[in-house]
Structure 1
């Protein structure tokens, strides 16, 4: 069986390779980006099975399939939430939610092996899945946050929030009124709760609201500095590896 892994996080790719070796499956090659994958598929025999991450270092893995006609079976390895995963389950062999569980991996491989002798084609409508990722149906994003002020609770509407940021192991929201409030959450949890067309995580410390951006300025090392309407407590810098995605998000 000819198997490859497409995963931008090399430690995750190596871990998956070791897990597959325990199932007596050898991985032919590990690819780490859209560009690298396209070049490889153009010059090599396509595999029987691909373990595919979605968010690669240079874009979504769907871009590979827009350039190359690939008929390989696919098992998704993804950190995306259940709303997107429902779509994958309809047409792909299976999906594995990170961190990948040994038992789930074994079940997914068995599904493939049971289908393989019948040469069943696995057809994926990548455009439909891609649209679902960008605009998930029936997705309930946070509309307001409750914050504690002394013995009282205050509700803050999402439209009034300029940014979320982490500082000294705490997570804060900052409003257009120039007030910040401590939240009982993390930026990682917020990633699945904020509407992605409105909020973007520009670096490890900040989510910004597109409607609060006042100006954008070129910064050192190919980065961008963001200026918000009210927030000015510290510099807000778009990480270099996020600049491309940030510009795409603005459009």
Structure 2
């Protein structure tokens, strides 16, 4: 691959250093510049310098967010997002050649993102489309409307179940159940994967492959083995609700969001 110019915009100094060292190790021929994670400073730099081939861009910056930077700087670069939030609109960044990396950065995931860029003709493919507009649209996914209710069918009637009344969803034998805060269970005709896209990520978290929990249903969490934690929910779930070590950072950020 030819020598490329790369910029890292990250407001956490240790994270910026780590990302810089990984990129340099994976592509030592690239020219990497680390900028302060400030919208104003990054915009000023882009006004005074040629735009790089790639930007590694933190979604949340010290004085704003990546939308503020992109809408003002209007970079011609390909953007790879970095984020600590695995459920806050990041799916929107994985379409149309847009990619994201969950922090703390994993070198394998970083390598995959770089290979994705290189596969797409060094970014020429994405530049040929309305790339910046797609980025800005993706970052505005906060305006998305999330599901507020479900239609539940009984033997001789049907009724509405409000999402606000649900403590968690779980899957068993390929059937999805919604458990209300008072312990009632209802079958939902959607997979957990589809529910994840339709539920407000500020309120619901995909704990593992079997369960999605509501923030209001969590009683407490405690350490488990192999770096996992186990979460106690109300009403009680039939088995332990475990959070893997890989999801632990995102889970803690979600609890504190």
Q: Which TM-score band applies after superposition, normalised by the shorter structure?
A: 0.5 to 0.7
- Is 1:46 the counterpart of 2:35? The answer is no
Counterpart Cα distance in 1 of 2:156 and 2:4: 58
Counterpart Cα distance in 2 of 1:41 and 1:64: 20
Give yes or no for contact 2:232–2:241 (8 Å, CA) kept in 1: yes
Give yes or no for contact 2:54–2:77 (8 Å, CA) kept in 1: yes
Give yes or no for contact 1:223–1:238 (8 Å, CA) kept in 2: yes
Counterpart Cα distance in 2 of 1:46 and 1:176: 54
For residue 152 of structure 1, report the CA deviation from its aligned partner.
2.3
Match of 1:96 in 2: 97
The equivalent position to 1:171 in structure 2, one of 176, 183, 197, is: 176
For residue 205 of structure 1, report the CA deviation from its aligned partner.
1.2
TM-score, scaled relative to structure 1: 0.58
TM-score, scaled relative to structure 2: 0.57
**Change in CA separation of 1:171 and 1:113 when aligned onto 2, cut-off 3 Å:** closer
Aligned residues: 188
Match of 1:231 in 2: 236
Match of 1:195 in 2: 200
Counterpart Cα distance in 2 of 1:35 and 1:205: 36
- Is 1:73 the counterpart of 2:77? The answer is yes
Match of 2:8 in 1: none
Gaps of 5+ in 2: 6-14, 33-51, 63-74, 100-119
Gaps of 5+ in 1: 5-32, 53-60, 89-93, 99-104, 115-121
* RMSD of aligned alpha carbons: 4.6
Counterpart Cα distance in 2 of 1:163 and 1:218: 21
Counterpart Cα distance in 2 of 1:73 and 1:65: 18
For residue 151 of structure 1, report the CA deviation from its aligned partner.
3.6
